[in-house]
Amino acid sequence: MTAVLENPATSTDAAASAPGVSFESLGVPTELVKVLASQGKTDAFPIQKDTLPDTLDGKDVLGRGKTGSGKTLAFSIPLVAGLAEMQVKRYVGAPTGLILAPTRELATQIAAVVEPLAASVGLTVTTVFGGVKQTRQEQAFRRGVDIVVACPGRLEDLMRQGIVRLD
């Protein structure tokens, strides 16, 4: 018997040309499927296909991949779906969902992916990072926000000031 080891580049190319797995078939809620479809996203990337069934079921996973591999949707979809299913109540200064990012650029990119999903189920999102006045961030917490995409430094500052709590 002979085993054939595929070149990762060839495997990726083959996977890209193979028929896809739809978000709907992975159990993604209809509201989120509609948002994704409106953005031209109907088929899951491999990391999404491999993780969504477990994460939508409430299980923890660890995944990694290259830039552009679909990681952000892989964790954003179950976060938004889970909060919507829980029918979370919005509290001033106490978000329910938290995504930490190392840079403000990445926080902004993540928020751009999360916001349309969250809006489709009535959830709000804000970003928190340094290098800008914190007034807008304070106002978001005073109104109440469901999901925060934050850089740790500014988030810690806001916590010390009593503007946000994560208990």
pTM: 0.84
Both 44 and 54 in a single domain? yes
pLDDT digits (tens, 9 = 90+) for 32-81: 999 999 999 999 999 999 999 999 999 999 988 999 999 999 999 999 99
pLDDT band at 4 (very low <50, low <70, confident <90, very high): very low
Both 111 and 79 in a single domain? no
Task: Give the pLDDT confidence score for residue 167 in this predicted structure.
Answer: 87
Instruction: Supply the DSSP string of 18-61, one letter for each residue.
Output: SPP-BTGGGT--HHHHHHHHHTT--B--HHHHHHHHHHHTT---
Both 95 and 83 in a single domain? no
User: Which distant-in-sequence residues (6+ apart) come within 8 Å of 131 by Cβ?
Assistant: 104
Task: Give the pLDDT confidence score for residue 2 in this predicted structure.
Answer: 27
Among residues 70, 87, 104, the one where a domain terminates is 87
What is the mean predicted confidence (pLDDT) over 100-128? 97
Task: Give the pLDDT confidence score for residue 8 in this predicted structure.
Answer: 35
Does 149 score more than 80 pLDDT? yes
Task: Give the pLDDT confidence score for residue 19 in this predicted structure.
Answer: 60
Calculate the CA 24 to chain-centre distance: 17
CATH number of the domain bearing residue 163:
3.40.50.300
Number of domains the chain is built from: 2
Write out the residue range of the structural domain in which residue 163 sits.
89-167
